Amino acid sequence: AQSVAQPEDQVNVAEGNPLTVKCTYSVSGNPYLFWYVQYPNRGLQFLLKYITGDNLVKGSYGFEAEFNKSQTSFHLKKPSALVSDSALYFCAVRVSGNTGGFKTIFGAGTRLFVKA
């Protein structure tokens, strides 16, 4: 079955430290992978995506993610965390739909807490 998994419900890091939010996927064919962020009391926002090309993709707010085909992973990273990065992060993958097209499914989300 096509799926996306975020194994950590919550990640805690200290401000200034590097952060990683994990994501693994299972799809048929070449994956289209995405990260979205939901700040408190705000809507979901696109962060970055991998479609093809360089395995390391850079996105908004200093975030980046590395596509690893052999490990079927797409972990989100940032070299130095900020308190303002505290939010709910969603990994997503484009999968085959039931009507011949494609749809996007989301992981369960990982809550990131950055402590000052």
Binding footprint of other proteins on the chain (CB under 8 A): 32, 34, 36, 43-46, 49, 51, 88, 90, 92, 94, 97-109
Q: Taking the complex as a whole, how short is the minimal distance between the CB of residue 52 and other proteins, in angstroms?
A: 11
Query: Which residue, 107 or 112, is less far from other proteins as judged by CB?
Result: 107
* HSE (side-chain half, CA atoms, 13 Å) at 12: 2
Closest CB to other proteins among 18 and 97? 97
Residue 109 C-alpha from the chain's centroid? 9
For other proteins, the closer CB: 34 or 67: 34
Query: Is residue 114 within 8 Å of residue 85, measured between CB atoms?
Result: yes
Query: What's the min distance (Å) between Cβ of 23 and other proteins?
Result: 13
What DSSP assignment string belongs to 80-114?
S--GGG-EEEEEEEEEE-TTSSEEEEE---EEEEE
- Minimum distance of other proteins from residue 80's CB (angstroms): 25
Least spacing, CB of residue 104 vs other proteins, in Å: 6
Contacts of 83 (CB under 8 A, 6+ apart): 15, 114, 115, 116
Q: Which of residues 62 and 97 has its CB atom nearest to other proteins in the complex?
A: 97
